[in-house]
Structure 1
């Protein structure tokens, strides 16, 4: 199902989750000095460059890629087991992973914190999975920007004039989240993950309440 066919609540949730991904990715990027916990295209480039220039960089990038994929697998499993309460369950999983990461950072176990961050970001992408396909990507924007450009082009030829808006909303969420993470990291370091964990928990409660309201209607 294309993004444009989802209702406004779903668009808003997706934008919030993109912002959360941007926030966590910015924190991870600053902590790791140029590696990502959610943007795996960037890590793939770092892997390729590192293989021919700096073996340690290649190892870090490869490790993050593996952790992210493990998170995707974990998210897909939890989502399937929790259906029809996929979203609240996945948000609770993210809150647990990010909260544990924040706790690990407080205990001085920064490497464990980074591991859990990458797994959490991978698991987030199962949020809008249906029939084994991810319909809304939350932690990567290349495809989103391509679709936005295509919708703008379609609007120029009489198509839906606002069809590009959901994609712009997703990108804006990621960008604003990254700005927030970059601003807060110098003040809190990895302790900023408590904020991300709290937001995930709040979204889990909200989505569960909406789910129950929908069932009761």
Structure 2
């Protein structure tokens, strides 16, 4: 992340905020599962299988949907690399809108499929040579890198290289707080706000890629 421009870092932090927003809504809607954090769902899957409880099925559904979203985003990014950021985020916006629409029609469980797909897809915004360079839906790696950069700073290395990683985590937490507050007030329809935000971020991402060329 430290190799990116400030504008690109700002976009990544906003995407993490969007992911936090959506994940908070998914967490509250499912009663404790995630649409962007698959490590947590994997643990819930394992515990659910061990205890033979239905939550295992929903956890598996979310994991598969997330991976399908990653595949979809990866295919789009490979096919149209020059407009990768805008295209991937436009698809993310459509998937979130689809989820919100499905819930309004009574498909409370099925709407989790496009929602988890959106969170898988969004991780293809920042990549190089087909590999993700900034994961915006999972923060364990960001916190590890922040800790490593703090250790480097304490040994006389760059003083502030840890800050972008901490800001990425902060973005996700802030987005999750907003998502939880809006869910408490409006319920799942607050996802329309997330869809609109993703559409705006698509425009920003497209302009950024045109300017920076990656």
* TM-score category, normalised to shorter length: over 0.9
Q: Give every structure 1 segment of 4 or more consecutive aligned residues whose post-TM-superposition deviation is greater than 6 Å.
A: none
Separation (CA, whole Å) in 1 of partners of 2:111 and 2:55: 19
Equivalent position of 1:207 in the other structure: 205
Shift of 1:120: 0.3
Unmatched segments (≥5 aa) in structure 1:
none
Contact kept in structure 1, 2:8 and 2:208, CA below 8 Å: no
Give matches, 1:151-190, under 5 Å: 151-190=149-188
Deviations 1:144-164 (A, max 9, x none): 100000000000111110100
CA contact (8 A) 2:69 2:117 kept: yes
Match of 1:4, SS state, is coil
Extract unaligned runs of 5+ from structure 2. none
Aligned residues: 213
Aligned to 2:48: 50
What is the Cα-based RMSD across aligned positions, in Å? 1.2
Give 2:25's aligned residue: 27
- The answer as to whether partners of 2:85 and 2:209 remain within 8 angstroms in 1 is no
CA distance in 2, matches of 1:199, 1:121: 14
TM-score (normalised: structure 2)? 0.96
Written as runs of structure 1 = structure 2, the 5 A alignment for 1:80-159 is 80-159=78-157
Residues 20-50 of structure 1, C-alpha deviations (whole Å, 9 max, x = no match): 0000000000000000000000001101111
Which residue is 2:14 aligned to?
A: 16
Provide the C-alpha distance between the structure 1 equivalents of 2:11 and 2:212, rounded to a whole number of angstroms.
Answer: 16
